[in-house]
Amino acid sequence: MIVVAFTFCHADDYDDSCQHGDWQCIPTNDLKDPKYVEIAKFAVNTQTKLPKDSGLSFLGISDGIYKVDNDGTTYELRIVAISFNQINSYDLVVFENSKDKVRTLISFA
């Protein structure tokens, strides 16, 4: 079992110079950015391959942070999705390898 501690923030302004190895808030205005939406949809699509979550549909991102290191970027996102007519929030972690851009779903809860 993987336990991930989520520390989300709301940031309207941020330092555009991504500090290597430090967690950065995703500004509220950027939560609809196609890059983050694609990552969130990747996580939902990966999760829906499991029989218990086959009814899961992505609605949007409510919060998120990311961290860049030598191997790639780790995204921690809080999303809103609908599952069998019930709207819920889910916390997810996706790692994107910097060399080949392959994504891995680390956690979805």
Q: What would the pLDDT profile of 21-68 be if each residue is shown by its tens digit?
A: 689 999 999 999 999 999 999 999 999 887 776 689 999 999 999 999
Which pTM value belongs to this model? Answer: 0.80
CB 100 within 8 A of CB 91: no
Evaluate whether residue 14 is within a structural domain.
Answer: no
Structural domain including 102 reads 23-108
Within-domain flag for 4: no
Any domain includes 48: yes
What 3-state class would DSSP assign to 69? Answer: coil
CATH of the domain at 43: 3.10.450.10
Q: Is residue 62 situated within a structural domain?
A: yes
Please report whether residue 18 resides in a domain. Answer: no
Report how far apart, in Å, the C-alpha atoms of 100 and of each of 43, 50, 108 are.
Answer: 18, 25, 23
How many independent structural domains does the chain possess? 1
For residue 37, how many other CB atoms are within 10 A of its CB?
Answer: 16
